Structure 1
């Protein structure tokens, strides 16, 4: 693939990934609670790996063309965010309270958050195709799609690891501030989920 095209996609993708959202909220909440950030971020990246596989297989376009399926995925993702955010608000664990060996569900939670994130699907449907070269002697479209998907996953891993580990380093020794940030992260997940629910239901 053209190096300039890859760099352009990387710049835009980093800009999008650096915009706080549900993924950020989950990484921050994980970090300030002393849970394994790497495991949580691996889950988030796995969710985007699913989006990449769907895009490579052409299933993402099929989902986009099926309003009922897209609505179902959006409602499921939004509902999960509301449930998870409410749980964080009710029980904001103090830093280090859960140790590093517990919560094997961190990976699955992360994969569910990003895998059901409508923003992730829209990224693969509206942004990524703009960087695919369909004319001339170039790599097949599925290969180009996979390459851009892997680049997006790498950006997510780098940014979310920095966010989660940074939150732990800055707030780990400040229990009161950590609880406040954890509650804010929970409120963000709940708010994003509620917004998506209202937005999608309003279109039915």
Structure 2
């Protein structure tokens, strides 16, 4: 696998990460609840991306690609999870707070929820199943599985940089604006619900 292939994949991956979606909504919610929760949220999102990459490298990706039913089930499960998170964010919107608020309280919960948000994100499935194979070279000296893991790690690194910046920015910009923070938090929850409903509708119409 050449550096040019890695760089090309990074460019595509980075553009996808910059596209607002469920991951953005999740990390913004973490930032609004407290700066100390941004890192656990981002770590969870990165772990979800890495776990999905490992699953693809282990052969689950080829199974999903061959079986539309498996892909539909995974998409529906991801949509249901996003719907649950979105409703929770709408009912209990985050309130911007200082860096000392919350502390490490609930850090593991944010990591686990972040892993689910990222690992079940259809946008990540698109990257791994449709785009990533185009950058894998079977004739390269590295095994295909190792190439997939390396490219997945590149994507996870992009996630960490972008999402951490988004989380901190949401805390700094809205930290002293309680009403604006409530609006943004509810909008983030509404975005998750909208994405989930769209995915569920597409799954039911297949």
| TM over 0.5, shorter chain | yes
Which residue does 2:22 correspond to in 1? 22
Instruction: Indicate whether 1:129 and 2:146 are aligned.
Output: no
Do the aligned partners of 2:33 and 2:97 also contact (CA within 8 Å) in 1?
yes
Following the alignment from structure 1 to structure 2, what is the Cα–Cα distance between the partners of residues 133 and 67?
25
Aligned counterpart for 1:153 among listed residues 145, 151, 156: 156
List gaps (5 residues or longer) in structure 2: none
Which residue does 2:166 correspond to in 1? 163
Aligned counterpart for 1:183 among listed residues 173, 182, 186: 186
Do the aligned partners of 2:94 and 2:181 also contact (CA within 8 Å) in 1?
no
How far residue 77 of structure 1 moved from its aligned partner, in angstroms, is 0.9
- Give the secondary-structure state (helix, strand or coil) at the position aligned to 1:139: coil
- Give the secondary-structure state (helix, strand or coil) at the position aligned to 1:99: coil
Aligned counterpart for 1:99 among listed residues 95, 99, 102: 102
Do the aligned partners of 2:30 and 2:94 also contact (CA within 8 Å) in 1?
no
List gaps (5 residues or longer) in structure 1: none
TM-score, normalized by length of structure 2? 0.93
Which residue does 2:57 correspond to in 1? 56
List aligned pairs for 1:10-89, cutoff 5 A. Answer: 10-34=10-34, 36-89=37-90
TM-score, normalized by length of structure 1? 0.94
Do the aligned partners of 2:13 and 2:127 also contact (CA within 8 Å) in 1?
no
CA-based RMSD: 1.5
Report the number of matched residues. Answer: 202
